Copies of this chain bind each other. A is one copy, B any other.
């Protein structure tokens, strides 16, 4: 299901338990045991969850004797935000174009210079996928 970074990130965040553990880590670093404490699942299950988060780049683990303190990696959130922002922007542009159309229908003819309703004009880097899907992983 998840091959690229973005897929792994979203898949990791799709689980409420993992999101909850991130919330805990946002407060401060914690060991696997500390993260497991509040839940009634096995430590092994929590360890797996952490592996998923780590594979997604959302969390990093260091070594302190037997302990493996987990640290939240905030950079990945930027990746997501950028991805999301693209859609918000495009949707916004679409609304503006719609406004233009409505303006024309109203008989108003100003600010209609960027009107390309039926020509997809996204100049983002086209990848292997049929539609665009920006390859944001660096």
Question: Interface residues, chain A, CB within 8 Å of chain B?
Answer: 1-4, 6-7, 10-11, 13-17, 19-24, 26-28, 38-39, 72, 74, 77-78, 80-81, 84, 86-88, 90-92, 94, 117, 120, 122, 129-134
Contact = CB atoms under 8 A, between A and B. Distances in A.
23 contacts: A1-B15, A7-B14, A7-B16, A10-B10, A10-B13, A14-B14, A17-B129, A20-B132, A23-B122, A23-B134, A24-B131, A24-B132, A26-B86, A26-B90, A26-B91, A26-B94, A27-B90, A27-B94, A28-B117, A72-B91, A74-B87, A74-B92, A81-B88
A92 B10 CA distance: 22
A contacts with B: majority SS: helix
A20 B131 contact: yes
Contact of A130 (B39, B91, B94): B39
A72 B87 CA distance: 9
